[in-house]
Amino acid sequence: METIQISEIIQTNRTRADLGELGALAESIRRHGLLQPIVIDANNELRCGSRRLAAVKLLCWKEVPIVRLEYLSPLEQLEIELDENSRRKDFTWQEELTLRVRIIKLYQEKDQSIERIGERLNLEPRTLYRSLLVANAIEKNPNLLKEESFMSALSQAERMNQNQLRTLAVQAMGPLTKLETANQVENISVGSLKQDSTTNNRTTIYKGDCRNILKSIPTESIDLILTDPPFGVDYNYDTDSFVDSKEYVLTDLLPVVLTECYRILKPGAPLYMLYPIVHHSVITAQVLLAGLRLHYVPLIWDKQLGPANHRFYGMDYEPILLAYKPPTMRPLQEPARCMFRVPTVTGQRIHPTERPVELLMQIIKLATISGETILDPFAGSGSTAIAALRLDRNCITIEQDENFYKIASLRLLEEGANVEETG
């Protein structure tokens, strides 16, 4: 096949002005070669392949394979341009998904991680995770193939998974027979739950976006923040569903929340945060940028999982970040070690990241005294509030998802809290 120096190709005015994103095309050419040559005329003027030519330029090619058409009338030139760009038919989202999943599974057979596969395909890992999520959902519900777009199918797949989890969670709340009916559950409004008046302690649970609700909490009013942010979970306001996306939490949610946490913490008050070790550097950077200081001793939650059942290193622990508001952290209420040995929640969970109440109680006892106020911006199933209630502490907690808000409310009711209607 004839080749030509790229510098010799003449690019005249072309109909296609926007070449689009060229990174993926360039990577494909780098890996597989130029499968379709550039088309030029007798005068070396480009006739077909402007995107391919731009991509090889990105790869710093000096020459490129070409097909030369010796003579073309002006009409033929336009007809060729039209034909090349109109006869191509993009994959439907269903076809693209099928091909992508096949590629992912072939790579996985070679023990390639999602992150590594993403690098090879020039795709974000979350794109691959979402593809697998939709593919699995289609196996359960083939009607998803009728959705107009991949994003529409993704929303349905996320809703399927979340609804399944919520159904299991509600089933797990079986002992709360006094609140079995849907009407009774609906009557738990946004507002507060409080303990018996004899203790004078108060547990408030809000339903909504913590970034907004935190702004209403008075400055330097909180004695302890104990939380487990939804790393790997993104809330889609358009579809009222959750999306796997650690980027959302790390880049959009956490910086705002930590800034508010700094404001509302009392000087010297601590923040304890459970988090995935893989994001350690990013999370610690966000904590420091918010103005908090990191404690020099790393804390570890030993999950007490027992013997290993596979030939890989299992995640038997979870780090707990400890930071505080300057100038100095208040002392612990009793001597303590840096490792918390508490069994993880086993059996049927009522929340995907449910934490043992005993673990949270140990932290609360070390960091606060009776009557002080604890904040958890991400309530989940309400475990932090329950731990605070049992230890005679005040607690403010926030949950965005309506169903988990109701579940947390039900759990607090079982703990003996009385519902205070607010409107």
Are residue 55 and residue 136 in the same domain, yes or no? Answer: no
Question: What residue ranges of the chain have pLDDT lower than 70?
Answer: 13-18, 71-72, 74-91, 161-201, 232-248, 309-312, 314, 347-349, 352, 416-423
Domain count, the chain: 3
Peptide bond into 230 cis (omega under 30): no
Say how far apart CA 395 and CA 103 lie, in whole Å. Answer: 49
Cα-based torsion angle of the residue sequence 263, 269, 272, 278 in order, rounded to the nearest 10 degrees: 60
DSSP 388: H
**Among 109, 133, 165, where does a domain finish?**
165
Say how far apart CA 420 and CA 48 lie, in whole Å. Answer: 71
Q: For residue 82, what pLDDT is reported? A: 60
**Among 44, 63, 86, where does a domain finish?**
86
Are residue 361 and residue 289 in the same domain, yes or no? Answer: yes
Q: For residue 174, tell me if it sits in a domain.
A: no
The CATH number of residue 128's host domain is 1.10.10
Q: How far lies 263's CA from each of 349, 378, 396, in Å?
A: 34, 17, 15
Q: For residue 183, tell me if it sits in a domain.
A: no
Q: For residue 225, what pLDDT is reported? A: 98
3-state secondary structure of 34: coil
Amino acid at 165: L
Say how far apart CA 45 and CA 48 lie, in whole Å. Answer: 9
3-state secondary structure of 298: coil
Boundaries of domain holding 152:
93-165
| 292: exposed, middle or buried (Cβ count in 10 Å: 0-12, 13-18, 19+) | buried
Are residue 219 and residue 262 in the same domain, yes or no? Answer: yes
> Cα(first)–Cα(last) distance of the chain, in Å?
78
Residues 6+ apart with CB under 8 A from 254: 229, 283, 286
The CATH number of residue 58's host domain is 3.90.1530.10
Q: Is the pTM for the entire model greater than 0.85?
A: no
Q: For residue 249, tell me if it sits in a domain.
A: yes
Say how far apart CA 192 and CA 216 lie, in whole Å. Answer: 15
Are residue 335 and residue 263 in the same domain, yes or no? Answer: yes
Say how far apart CA 383 and CA 385 lie, in whole Å. Answer: 5
Q: For residue 329, tell me if it sits in a domain.
A: yes
Strands 373-376 and 224-227: parallel
Helix (H) or strand (E) holding 40: strand 38-41
Residue pair 131/104 in contact by the 8 Å Cβ criterion: yes
Say how far apart CA 10 and CA 6 lie, in whole Å. Answer: 9
Say how far apart CA 127 and CA 246 lie, in whole Å. Answer: 12
Are residue 289 and residue 202 in the same domain, yes or no? Answer: yes
Residue-wise pLDDT tens digits, 284-295: 888 988 999 999
Q: For residue 359, tell me if it sits in a domain.
A: yes
Residue-wise pLDDT tens digits, 366-414: 999 999 999 999 998 899 999 999 999 999 999 988 888 888 888 888 8
Q: For residue 110, tell me if it sits in a domain.
A: yes
| 65: exposed, middle or buried (Cβ count in 10 Å: 0-12, 13-18, 19+) | middle
Are residue 97 and residue 69 in the same domain, yes or no? Answer: no
Q: For residue 183, what pLDDT is reported? A: 33
Are residue 104 and residue 81 in the same domain, yes or no? Answer: no
Q: For residue 294, what pLDDT is reported? A: 92
Give start and end residues of each alpha helix (H) in 246-339.
Answer: 246-248, 254-264, 280-289
Residue pair 5/62 in contact by the 8 Å Cβ criterion: yes
Say how far apart CA 60 and CA 40 lie, in whole Å. Answer: 20
* The Cα angle at residue 114 between residues 112 and 116, in degrees rounded to 5: 60
Q: For residue 405, tell me if it sits in a domain.
A: yes
Are residue 269 and residue 392 in the same domain, yes or no? Answer: yes
Are residue 258 and residue 149 in the same domain, yes or no? Answer: no
Q: For residue 121, tell me if it sits in a domain.
A: yes
The CATH number of residue 203's host domain is 3.40.50.150
Are residue 343 and residue 260 in the same domain, yes or no? Answer: yes
Residues 6+ apart with CB under 8 A from 358: 342
Are residue 62 and residue 123 in the same domain, yes or no? Answer: no
Are residue 104 and residue 82 in the same domain, yes or no? Answer: no
Give start and end residues of each alpha helix (H) in 92-224.
Answer: 93-109, 114-121, 125-140, 150-172, 182-186, 210-213
